[in-house]
Amino acid sequence: MRKRANDELERLNPEAFREAEKTPVILLLDNVRSMNNVGSVFRTADAFLVEKIILCGYTPQPPHRDIQKTALGATETVAWEHVADTLAAVKQLQAGGWAVYAVEQAEQSIMLHQFVAPPQQKTALVFGNEVEGVQQEVVSACNGCIEIPQFGTKHSFNIAVAAGIVVWEVYNKLQANRR
């Protein structure tokens, strides 16, 4: 077995990425502090052709060297915007027909493997602050919560890891529905 070189991977160039059909998913980052986490989420969003990232509250915004360190150029391909108030962003998305889910450990949360995106409705996913998680007022406004099952001693995943896990699972389920 031989590792493939980057030029053998047949990845999209930035222009082709912008033209490509996007996965009907928006990611909201609710007061995420770490620029490395923000950059990692951009890279995940690029990998799965996510429609857009909304950076909320004090979440750092590109361009910044520490975001670029982990984003590796994904801030140039993935659409993004900044919204000062996460709750306002959630309500605006819902008014536009999006189902919004907080990724959070909450009463009546849906375990990720049991989550089914509503048919014919676009999905937005809210990821929270590294210490506090998603703000309670935002959780309360969401259509529901998705929880990643965990079996060890720790109470949470790093936000960039959580985004990778959830976006991969949602992407797979959306692709299966297209077939």
Is the pLDDT at 146 greater than 80? The verdict is yes
* pLDDT of 119: 78
pLDDT tens digits along 91-132: 999 999 999 999 999 999 999 999 998 878 899 999 999 999
pLDDT tens digits along 34-87: 999 999 999 999 999 999 999 999 999 999 999 999 999 999 999 999 999 999
**Rg for the chain, CA atoms, rounded:** 16
- Residue 53 and residue 145: Cα distance in Å, rounded? 18
pLDDT tens digits along 153-164: 999 999 999 999
- Residue 53 and residue 13: Cα distance in Å, rounded? 19
- Residue 28 and residue 53: Cα distance in Å, rounded? 6
* pLDDT of 109: 98
The pair of three-digit structure tokens given for residue 96, joined into one six-digit string: 């536009």
- Residue 165 and residue 44: Cα distance in Å, rounded? 10
